[in-house]
Amino acid sequence: MTQLKFIDLIESDNLQQKDKLFICSNTSWDEYEAILQQKANSSAYRISFLNGVLKIMSPSRNHEIIKDFIYLLIVAYCDAIELDYYSLGSTTLKQKDKSVGKEPDTSFCFNSLKQIPDLAVEVVFSSGSLEDLEKYQKLGVKEVWFWINERLEIYVLSDHNYQQQNSSCNLSNLDVKLLEKYISQVLTGNPRLLKKAFLQEIS
């Protein structure tokens, strides 16, 4: 695998309007680590690794708009209920002994800062899939949200397996339908005004 080729291809296409996904099988852990090192100063794409399969995703503009807005709503909710939060963003999560690595779209620890986030968020816009749950399970992430097909799917880790739930285990009083209502409007609406309206509804 030519690592630089992957980097150059994605960097040159970081203004595209559709997510781009590149997959390479039979990748060693050392090659994965080398690519992580190459992209250390760039947030233009996200890399994941599982059992030798490397995936590099270059997110579209719409993908990033949705991801950032979900982040804003989580922060706004935590501020409203005075819950301490620590944003880990797209921090690389990895465990060599389990041959797994993942960079969430955004992630959070609640109440205290931890090595592994309490919540990871994934926007499944035009690339990505629920297959990422296996990576998060190996990493021990307690809760994962997927924004997919205009709705929020919540998965909570229980007995080493994810179970789909109707509410968050970390933000148990947060109305998921209310979140969906505002997230679904962000591509055509004003994020500042939408966040303001969301805050008015939860106050």
* Cα four-point dihedral sign 134, 112, 39, 153: positive
Region of 52 please: left (phi>0), alpha (psi -120 to 50) or beta: left
Which one of 11, 28, 58 terminates a domain? 58
User: Does 143 share its domain with 193?
Assistant: yes
User: Does 39 share its domain with 67?
Assistant: no
Residues of the chain with pLDDT below 70 are 1-18, 41-43, 125-129
- For residue 130, what pLDDT is reported? 74
**DSSP helix/strand/coil, 179:** helix
User: Does 54 share its domain with 70?
Assistant: no
Question: How far is C-alpha 165 from the chain's CA centre?
Answer: 18
User: Does 54 share its domain with 66?
Assistant: no
- For residue 9, what pLDDT is reported? 43
Tens-place pLDDT, residues 13-41: 444 456 888 899 999 999 999 999 987 76
No. of H helices and E strands in the chain? Answer: 6, 11
User: Does 47 share its domain with 94?
Assistant: no
User: Does 66 share its domain with 34?
Assistant: no
User: Does 25 share its domain with 77?
Assistant: no
pTM value surpassing 0.75: yes
Which one of 58, 74, 101 terminates a domain? 58
Instruction: Identify whether the C-beta of residue 105 lies closer than 8 Å to the C-beta of residue 117.
Output: no
Domain containing residue 24:
3-58
Count up the domains in the chain and report the number. Answer: 2
User: Does 80 share its domain with 41?
Assistant: no
User: Does 76 share its domain with 155?
Assistant: yes
Which one of 20, 35, 58 terminates a domain? 58
Domain with residue 108: its CATH number is 3.90.1570
180 burial (CB, 10 Å; 0-12 / 13-18 / 19+) is: middle
- For residue 29, what pLDDT is reported? 97
- For residue 203, what pLDDT is reported? 87
- For residue 66, what pLDDT is reported? 95
User: Does 43 share its domain with 98?
Assistant: no
User: Does 32 share its domain with 98?
Assistant: no
User: Does 19 share its domain with 112?
Assistant: no
